[in-house]
Structure 1
Amino acid sequence: MAPRANWKGFLRLSLVTCPVALYPATSESEKISFNQLNRATGHRIKYLKVDADTGDEVSNEDIVKGYELDKGQYIEVTKEELEEIALESTRTIEIDEFVDKSDIDPRYLIRPYYLRPDGKVGHDAFAVIRETIREMDKVAIGRVVLTNREHIIALEPMDKGLVGTLLRYPYEVRNEAEYFDEIQDVKVTKDMLDLARHIVEKKSGHFDPEKFEDHYETALIDLINQKRAGKPITPKERPRAGNVVDLMEALRLSVGEEAAPAKAAKPAKKPKKVSAGQKEMLMSITGKKLAKETAAKKPSAKPQRKSA
């Protein structure tokens, strides 16, 4: 079952309109997460909204938004006032223009969403818009209102649906000159480039996200399982930095390292036998993502027939 839609409304290209729903394309809920605990009692920490001066707890109905003009000086803005300036286009993604994907600076990309027809009507109009974008090999630029703010959204076809990526406004992107101006102008020799190019060619391939493992997530799962089993936690030795200080020597050593055959991996150790009484106590966690995938693969249990 798909997650609940973040937004529902209409997609419009000139006079062609269809009802659509917007869904988050990414999720971090599968990652290991922690709660904060009181070390003395082991109880969870609870956060309260309190007055910064009096220390008294404040109920939600007594909390208003405020813009800080100066330190300690605020202009209060009510919910009703914010509703008054709400944009009229809250329920329509209006396609304004079509651009080449290469025109969009990666710094402007925020997060992706899936866009699909909402309900049983409008599939024809949705298909026309989708296939037009696909045939023209363009990205459709529109506007969408989420959480009362208007965002730029870039739409492109994916399979039978559309992927909409929220874009930043220019004022949200920092000027690179503030960071790059102090970089020294260095002349790179042809020999250095040739060695570096050789390394790149050896490492060239096609991007496949399945090849990458979240090593920190794996280490977290391993840490929790070790603590659950009552095993001592020993810090791992950090890799030491090499002593190579000459850039050309570093490049040459890198080329040699790439050419060297990979060492054979050591066979995995056999797991120790666990008694029946320990089995439940030592049952490992797998992480939310792996647990979800495993559950999806398990066949549903068949009901047993009772004999007459």
Structure 2
Amino acid sequence: MAPRANWKGFLRLSLVTCPVALYPATSESEKISFNQLNRGTGHRIKYLKVDADTGDEVQNEDIVKGYEVEKGQYIEVSKEELEEIALESTRTIEIDEFVDRSDIDPRYLIRPYYIRPDGKVGHDAFAVIRETIRQMDKVAIGRVVLTNREHIIALEPMDKGLVGTLLRYPYEVRNEQEYFDEIQDVKVTKDMLDLATHIVNQKAGRFDPEKFEDHYESALIDLINQKRAGKPITPKSKPAAGNVVDLMEALRRSVGKEAAPANAAKPAKKPKKAFAGQKEMLLPIAGKKPAKEAAAKKPATRPQRKSA
């Protein structure tokens, strides 16, 4: 199924404008999720919107927005009044300035979106804006309205499209001094730094997201598979905590621990995982159609599953 755009409008750099669509670049849908059930009946729990004082259920058409000015006192704001203050960025991403990527504090980053031309027109203008940002090696800063709120958005070229990352406003970022003021000033000796640097060098690598596995997600899959197969669930033994109290001794032991795997023979490379989604590994539900022929040809290293 083709992806559904979260937002459609126009991207504008001065007088150069093109229609664009904005899509989420990340997804949480492949993760295991749970429903709340009634322990006695096994039925799913349903939530109702009720009046806090009377307890009566309230229909959606009777619900309005309100801002609490004092305890129990609200100012009601209608949908029409909110539409009256709609900003130009509701339909247009206006590029205001260009900055260096290193200027953006990572605390301000929220979430990424993919941006591409919307429809068959505007590809030329889109390419001009994209290649201008690429040639300047800068990040374009603009504004966009999502879920009725205006956000700052940072635009960077990626392949033939753009990646737009929403940014926080200054009032949304907490002052670090509130948390760091009580950290003690400690004198770190050169010997400690040398040992720690040696450990870092032994662990040096290149960031590759495909190397990482969500161990908790895998454990959830194993748990659900075992329960569906009627197997008993036995708690796993937890590793004993180390008892090293001397910092220098801990650093020396760490150096030895990291050196051992480096000297060992490198194992044969494992084939790349097919990241079609973690949920593939769940057992198929009885009575449902068999998996596709292509899936059946995969080596049965782990039980297959179909999305519920």
Per-residue CA deviation, residues 119-140 of structure 1 (Å, 9 max, x unaligned), is 1111111111111111110000
CA offset at residue 172 of structure 1? 0.3
Q: Which residue of 1 aligns with 2:65?
A: 65
What is the match of residue 249 of structure 1?
249
Q: 1:130 to 1:296 in 2, by over 3 A?
A: farther
Tell me the residue number matched to 1:228.
Answer: 228
Q: In percent, how many aligned pairs have the same letter?
A: 89
Q: Which has the larger radius of gyration?
A: 1
Q: Which residue of 2 is the match for residue 298 of structure 1?
A: 294
Where does residue 27 of structure 1 map in the other structure? 27
Give 5+ residue unaligned stretches, structure 2.
Answer: 266-276, 283-290, 296-308
Alignment of 1:34-183 (within 5 A): 34-183=34-183
Is residue 21–residue 118 contact of structure 2 (8 Å, CA) maintained in 1? yes
Provide, for residues 163-200 of structure 1, a one-character-per-residue CA deviation record: whole Å limited to 9, x for no partner.
00000000000000000000000000000000000000
Quickly say closer, same or farther: Cα 1:95–1:61, change in 2 above 3 A.
Answer: same
TM-score (norm 2): 0.86
Distance in 2 separating the partners of 1:35 and 1:148: 29
Output one character per residue of 1:138-171: Cα deviation in whole Å (capped at 9) or x when no partner. 0000011112211100000000000000000000
The 10-residue stretch of structure 1 (207-216 or 255-264) with the greater mean CA deviation from structure 2? 255-264
Deviation of 1:290 (Å): 6.0
* 1:296–1:168 Cα change, 3 Å: farther
Structure 2: how far apart are the matches of 1:161 and 1:244?
A: 52
How many residue pairs get matched? 276
Give the aligned partner of residue 267 of structure 1: none
1:77 Cα deviation from its structure 2 partner: 1.5
Q: Is the CA contact 2:221–2:281 (under 8 Å) kept in the aligned structure 1?
A: no
The unaligned stretches of length 5 or more in structure 1 are 265-285, 300-308
The change in CA–CA distance for 1:178 and 1:298 in structure 2 (over 3 A counts) is same
* SS of aligned partner of 1:298: helix
Match of residue 192 from structure 1? 192
Look up the equivalent residue of 2:90 and give its one-letter code. Answer: T
The yes-or-no answer on 1:288 pairing with 2:279 is yes
Tell me the CA shift for residue 287 of structure 1. 3.7
Between the aligned partners of 1:88 and 1:134, the Cα distance in structure 2 is 26
| Native 8 Å contact 1:101 1:139 kept in 2 | yes
Amino acid at match of 2:243: N
The one-letter amino acid of 1:26's match is: T
Deviation of residue 111 (structure 1)? 0.2
Change (3 A) 1:290 1:19: farther
Aligned-partner SS, 2:216: helix
CA contact (8 A) 2:156 2:163 kept: yes
Tell me, in whole angstroms, the C-alpha distance in 1 between the residues paired with 2:239 and 2:207.
27
Deviation at 1:69, TM superposition (A): 1.8
CA RMSD, Structure 1 to Structure 2 (Å):
2.0
Residue of structure 2 equivalent to 1:272: none
- In the aligned structure 2, how far is the partner of 1:3 from the partner of 1:173? 32
